[in-house]
Chains A and B, each alone.
Chain A
Amino acid sequence: MFAGLPLLLFLFSCRQNPASSTADSADATPVDGDAYVSASLGDASRINPVLSTDSASNEIASLIFNGLIKYDKDLKLVGDLAKSFEIKRGGLEIVFHLRPGLKWHDGAPVTSDDVLFTYQKLVDPEVRTPYGADYARVSRVETPDPLTVRVFYKEPFAPALESWCKGIMPRHVYGTGDFNSHPANRAPVGCGPYKFVEWKVDEKIVLVANPDYYEGRPRISRYIFRVIPDLAVQFLELRNESVDNMGLTPDQYKAYDSFFKKYNKFRYPAFSYTYLGFNLKKPLFKDRRVREAIARAVDKRELIDGVLLGIGSPSTGPFPRHTWAYNPQVRDFDHDPSKAQALLEDAGWKDNDGDGVLDKDGKPFAFTVITNQGNKSREMTAVILQSHLAKIGIKMDVRIIEWSSFLHNFIDKGEFDATILAWNTGIDPDQYIIWHSSQHGKGKYNFVGYNSPEADRLLERGRREFDFNRRREIYHRLQAVIQNDIPYVFLFSQDSLPVVHKRFQKVETAPLGIGWNFNEWFVPRSQQKYLSAQ
Chain B
Amino acid sequence: MTGYLIRRVLLFIPLLLGITLVTFGVMQLAPGGPTDAMTDMNTKVSSEAKERLIKLYGLDKPWYVQYAHWLGRVVRLDFGNSFKDDQPVWGKIRERLGNSLLLNAASLLLILVAAVPLGVLSAVRRGSWIDRGVSLLVFVGFSVPTFWLALLLMILFGLHLGWLPISGLHALNHDEMGFFARQWDVARHLALPVLISAFTGLAGLSRYVRNGMLDVIRQDFIRTARAKGLPESQVIYKHALRNVLIPIITILGLSLPDLIGGSFIFETIFAYPGMGRLGFEAIMSRDYPVVMGVGTLAAVLTLIGNFLADVCYRWADPRIREGAL
**B-binding residues in A (CB < 8 A):** 35, 37, 42, 45-46, 53-54, 125-126, 128-134, 180-181, 185-186, 200-204, 224, 226-230, 232-233, 236-237, 239-240, 242, 402-405, 407-409, 421, 423-426, 431, 433-434, 441-445, 530, 533
Contact = CB atoms under 8 A, between A and B. Distances in A.
Contacts of B31: 402, 404-405, 407-409
5 contacts: A131-B45, A133-B49, A233-B167, A236-B166, A407-B36
B151 A126 contact: no
A131 B44 contact: yes
B271 to A, nearest CB: 5
Interface in B35-78: 35-50, 52-53, 56-57
Contacts of B176: 533
A263 to B, nearest CB: 15
Contacts of A185: 85-86
Nearest to A531: B173
A322 to B, nearest CB: 19
A385 to B, nearest CB: 21
Which 9 A-B pairs have CB atoms at the shortest separation, nearest pair first? A404-B32, A202-B273, A133-B46, A181-B86, A45-B85, A53-B38, A130-B45, A405-B31, A404-B31
Nearest to B83: A128
A404 B166 contact: no
Contacts of A201: 92, 95-96, 273
Contact of A236 (B45, B95, B155): B155
Size bracket, chain B contacts: 35 or more
Contacts of A45: 84-85
B207 interface: no
A186 B96 CA distance: 16
Given A130-B44, A236-B154, 16 more contacts: A35-B172, A37-B172, A42-B281, A53-B38, A125-B52, A128-B57, A130-B53, A133-B45, A236-B158, A236-B167, A240-B158, A404-B32, A424-B43, A426-B43, A442-B47, A444-B47
A389 to B, nearest CB: 25
Nearest to A39: B271
A240 B166 CA distance: 8
Given A42-B281, A54-B37, A200-B170, A443 B47 contact: yes
B30 interface: yes
A200 B271 CA distance: 12
B159 A240 contact: yes
A405 B96 CA distance: 30
A203 B41 CA distance: 28
Contact of B32 (A236, A407, A424): A407
Nearest to B265: A230
B201 to A, nearest CB: 20
A63 to B, nearest CB: 17
B168 interface: yes
Contact of A132 (B52, B96, B155): B52
Given A181-B81, A233-B166, A426-B44, A443 B50 contact: yes
Nearest to A41: B268
Contacts of B167: 228, 233, 236-237
A407 B40 contact: yes
Interface hub of A125, A203, A431 (most chain B Cβ within 10 A)? A203
Nearest to B151: A232
Contact of A128 (B53, B155, B168): B53
B190 interface: no
A132 B49 CA distance: 7
B28 interface: no
B50 A130 contact: yes
A426 B43 CA distance: 8
B44 A233 contact: no
Contacts of A224: 172
